Amino acid sequence: MVNSDIPKIGQSLTGDIEYNLKCMSTTLDALHALVYVSDLETQELIYLNQYGQSEWKEKNPSTCFHLQDKSQVKLCDSCTRQDLVNKDNQSTGVHHSEFENPDTGKWYQAQAQAIKWHNGRTVRLEIAFDVTEQKQLEHQLRTAHAKAKSNANTDPLLSCLNRRAFFERFESVFAHSQRHKFPLTLVMMDIDNFKVFNDEFGHSFGDQLLVTTSNVFEKAIRETDIFARYGGDEFILALPNTNQENTIKLLSRIQQDMSKHAASPSTDFSVTLSFGLTSLDEKSTVDKLLNHADIALYQAKNAGRNHIEVYQALDDN
């Protein structure tokens, strides 16, 4: 017992009352759950069972909220005191909440209810069960789910999106741009002479070249842009709210950034990129945009590589 508000065993009590109090105390102390009673207005702690006292550093706290954090100067966020009674000070039933003991990091699920105490004052009766293992398992599951989702969306070699994740995002961006008549430019690109580098210097060098290319793009584009590895040494880039003129300026800067990287360990000539781009129009579909960007990329390669080509529609029918 924490407070003298509860009569002590053997303190001028009849046999029945003493027996009942002893039974209640024995029963509550045997529970593997925290049980406490506090004044609803002052938060004065009236009762705390043995399990509760063993779980908290402060063995004889004076107020309820000190159980959760000795530095607190106001009610805990998890406190349901205002919800336990209505405007007529009548109990509104059982309320459920969760809280953490900051001293131990343990989590509890609690059931609280307002009841009338033996002296007439309204008190809060709360029973809290340790759910730390459950919370830890939930956290592990969330972490595993997030990791699995990230792995499913990310190219295993690079930090960028993979092809599947690109189309998941691009579909909605395409629909939004088409509906609101916003500009949208799609770019296909690849690394010039990548197969030669791979064959001559090995796959390890080729992989590093892909990583370098991805990093250059990630630094140059906006958060709203969608960049992904399309396959092999080919990448794809969607630029919402961007016209062809601004796209060409961006791609030119990326070409300059790539030119700072040597094409191989034994040479001083630079890595070059070829780009093909197209823009959304009234007749566009996702498949048409992809096809047009691919054609433009093919034209850039035929023009001698290290080029930026814009798809020119000869016949829309």
**214-262 residue pLDDT tens:** 999 999 999 999 999 999 999 999 999 999 999 999 999 999 998 887 6
Nearest to residue 53, comparing CAs of 20, 9, 45? 45
- Please tell me the least confidently modeled range out of 12-21, 79-88, 116-125: 12-21
pLDDT for the residue numbered 21: 64
| pLDDT > 70? residue 65 | no
pLDDT for the residue numbered 191: 93
DSSP state of 83: G
Nearest to residue 195, comparing CAs of 158, 157, 228, 233? 233
pTM, entire model: 0.58
- Please tell me the least confidently modeled range out of 51-65, 70-84, 158-172, 214-228: 70-84
pLDDT for the residue numbered 8: 44
- CB pairs under 8 A, 24+ apart, for 153-156? 155/214, 155/228, 155/229
pLDDT for the residue numbered 150: 62
Q: How many residues does the chain have?
A: 317
Percent of the chain with pLDDT over 90: 39
pLDDT for the residue numbered 214: 94
Distances (CA, A) of 84 to 93, 118, 174: 7, 18, 51
C-alpha–C-alpha distance, residues 80 and 239, integer Å: 49
Between residues 59 and 19, which one has the greater pLDDT? 19
| pLDDT > 80? residue 281 | yes
| pLDDT > 80? residue 30 | yes
pLDDT for the residue numbered 287: 95
Local confidence band at 70 (pLDDT 50, 70, 90 cut-offs): low
* 52 class by beta-carbon count within 10 Å (0-12 exposed, 13-18 middle, 19+ buried): buried
Local confidence band at 144 (pLDDT 50, 70, 90 cut-offs): confident
Local confidence band at 151 (pLDDT 50, 70, 90 cut-offs): low
Please, what is the average pLDDT of the chain?
Answer: 83
C-alpha–C-alpha distance, residues 99 and 72, integer Å: 14
pLDDT for the residue numbered 188: 97
- Please tell me the least confidently modeled range out of 51-65, 125-139, 273-287: 51-65
pLDDT for the residue numbered 18: 65
Query: Hey, which of 102-106, 117-121, 122-126, 266-270 has the most confident mean pLDDT?
Result: 122-126
- CB pairs under 8 A, 24+ apart, for 97-100? 98/131, 99/68, 99/128, 100/68
Rounded to 5°, angle at Cα 116 from 114 and 119: 145
Local confidence band at 9 (pLDDT 50, 70, 90 cut-offs): very low
| pLDDT > 90? residue 297 | yes
pLDDT for the residue numbered 245: 95
| pLDDT > 50? residue 10 | no
- Please tell me the least confidently modeled range out of 72-86, 175-189, 193-207, 260-274: 72-86
DSSP state of 7: P
pLDDT for the residue numbered 61: 66
pLDDT for the residue numbered 73: 57
pLDDT for the residue numbered 317: 45
